[in-house]
A and B are shown apart, each in its own frame.
Chain A
Amino acid sequence: MAVEPVAPLGGLFEPELVSIGADGIPTVSVPLAELLDTIAKVRGPLQHSRFVDVTAVDRLSRENRFELVYLFYSMELRSWLRLKTRTDREAPSITALVPGANWFERELYDLFGIEFQGHPELRRIMLPDDWQGHPLRRTEPLGAEPVDFTVTRKVYGHDD
């Protein structure tokens, strides 16, 4: 990914924070503490006011393993803008700014275990309320039933 200043973003962000992905969408990476300020900038001066999406990527090997990826869209410029930040567990909720992020943040809480501070209703959304664990974490196994074959006894540990 080439790091080069992007015309509409150059004035507001340090060039090293801005990159362009394979899909041509400008991407701004900011520390978690600056997330809400940056979203205000993106939705205000940068005109990317329509919230599209937020998701997370579990980069297990890195510090602050969860990469939060926000996507905004500008109705005037007809373009997307991506915003990235990193966290190990907690992040500020943006539901006060963008009501549409409500379910997206609940989904991330449910499937990744990211706790959004200030979310009005941070409960599981996909899985049952009494579910243990957060399945989209890279540490969660894909799910398999242990089958009692002689060859698998050592693997699953029930060698009697």
Chain B
Amino acid sequence: MATTTDAAEPRELLTVNMGPQHPSTHGVLRLELTLDGEVVVKCRPVIGYLHTGIEKTFEAKTYVQGVVLTDRMDYLNPLGNNLAYALSIEKLMSCDIPPRATVLRVLLAELTRLASHLMFVGSVALDLGASSPFLYCWREREKILDFFEGISGVRMMTSFIRPGGLARDIEPPLLAQISTFIDAMPAYIDSYEGLLTGNPIFRERTEGIGLLPADEALALGVTGPALRGSGVALDIRKANPYCGYETYDFDVPTGTVGDCFDRYLVRVAEMRESVKLCRQTLDSLPSGAVQTSDRKVMPPPRAELAKSMEAVIHHFKLWTEGIRPPAGEAYVGVESPRGELGFYIVSDGTGRPIRVHERAPSFANLQALPRITEGGVVADVVACIASLDPIMGEVDR
């Protein structure tokens, strides 16, 4: 940082790097900030620090192995990513999913959304200097991760939703625990709101900060809570329902002015909607199988292998070649906690895809960061990043 005093230049601009190792950048986001005193003149996000070539790796994996990679893209929404990937392959294969699996998928996707928004509420408070909400949010998030451990054996990288259904059924005792937790959740959300929503310091730091008008949000490709905070009621779950979302009763909360506070309020309201959705799935859970009976997608049960030669052949083909969707392409967009998440999968009829592309909501949302930070002060950049809730694993892939 060279400091020169030149009479011809009344204001000296200073360029500073924020990140890639900065606690508020939620991973490895680097911002090149050009500052005029405390005011941000220019903000240039630099990404790629977490690029691991996931889209290339997909091309060398079978379709089922690819599920594992989807967890690692948006690591706060593993089941939602599994779901989008599975739905896309099922579209290619025209494969039907049993009703129990569909309802459980909605339950899992909404639990993941709760966990992700809990992380958001905790981290936005932490970034703005309030450390206690983080601890309370983490307490509830741990419970959800414990459920994930109960169903899949893994807390975060679940790989539980597979093409053709679920990896296995969820046992009734665990469903009862989830039910108890869901009943208690609204009171927890009230307590977070008690700590933050009416908190004068929190409101001072977020109200009127990072304004994003609706038309600019749309032009920049922003989706999810960041777009709904600007007042555009676009939710893929409502607009283009998948997994039977049209049969559930839930609202799409929207903001009014599109500042950081609106984006916070939308996410908190979404947590309440997710609780409603979880309750409805638990109340309407049908019995039956959780995997499709299509033996080209899901392997036969173990018991069948001892009796049926056909089952042995299917088992062998699935374990050597994997799923072979017919040549073609499919894009399925779902509503992730961060916006429109879509998997575009191109198959050439073999056991490995020739292209898997993730339309990552964080990647598009992050493009709005210069728009909402420029003209503000440098201390508000932290609030702006937090309010977009980017996940770098998904941005960089």
Q: Which residues of A contact B (CB under 8 A)?
A: 1, 21-25, 49-53, 55, 57-59, 69, 71, 75, 78-80, 82, 98-104, 107, 111, 124-128, 135-136, 138, 140, 142-143
Contacts and interface: CB of A to CB of B under 8 A. Distances in A.
A142 B60 contact: yes
24 contacts: A21-B331, A23-B91, A23-B92, A23-B332, A25-B331, A52-B333, A52-B342, A53-B359, A57-B346, A57-B355, A58-B355, A69-B329, A71-B331, A71-B359, A100-B222, A101-B221, A103-B363, A103-B364, A104-B363, A107-B363, A126-B397, A135-B53, A138-B354, A142-B56
A135 B56 contact: yes
Interface in B267-326: 326
A125 B234 CA distance: 29
Interface in B312-371: 326, 328-333, 340, 342, 344, 346, 354-355, 357, 359, 363-364, 366-367
A125 B47 contact: yes
B168 to A, nearest CB: 28
A80 B333 contact: yes
Interface string B116-143: 0000000000000000000000000000
B240 interface: yes
A105 B177 CA distance: 46
Q: How large is the interface on B (under 10, 10 to 19, 20 to 34, 35 or more residues)?
A: 35 or more
A23 B220 contact: no
Given A98-B221, A100-B367, 17 more contacts: A21-B328, A21-B331, A23-B88, A23-B329, A50-B218, A50-B221, A53-B357, A57-B354, A57-B355, A80-B331, A82-B331, A100-B219, A103-B364, A125-B48, A126-B47, A126-B51, A126-B397
A10 B331 CA distance: 22
B221 A100 contact: yes
B339 to A, nearest CB: 10
B396 A126 contact: yes
B75 to A, nearest CB: 18
Enumerate the 10 nearest inter-chain pairs by beta-carbon distance, A residue then B residue, closest first: A100-B221, A23-B330, A126-B51, A55-B357, A126-B48, A53-B359, A22-B328, A78-B239, A100-B220, A23-B91
A51 to B, nearest CB: 6
Given A21-B328, A100-B367, A51 B221 contact: yes
A75 B332 contact: no
B219 A53 contact: no
Given A80-B333, A142-B60, A22 B94 contact: yes
Contacts of B366: 103
B340 A52 contact: yes
A129 to B, nearest CB: 10
A127 B48 contact: yes
B218 to A, nearest CB: 6
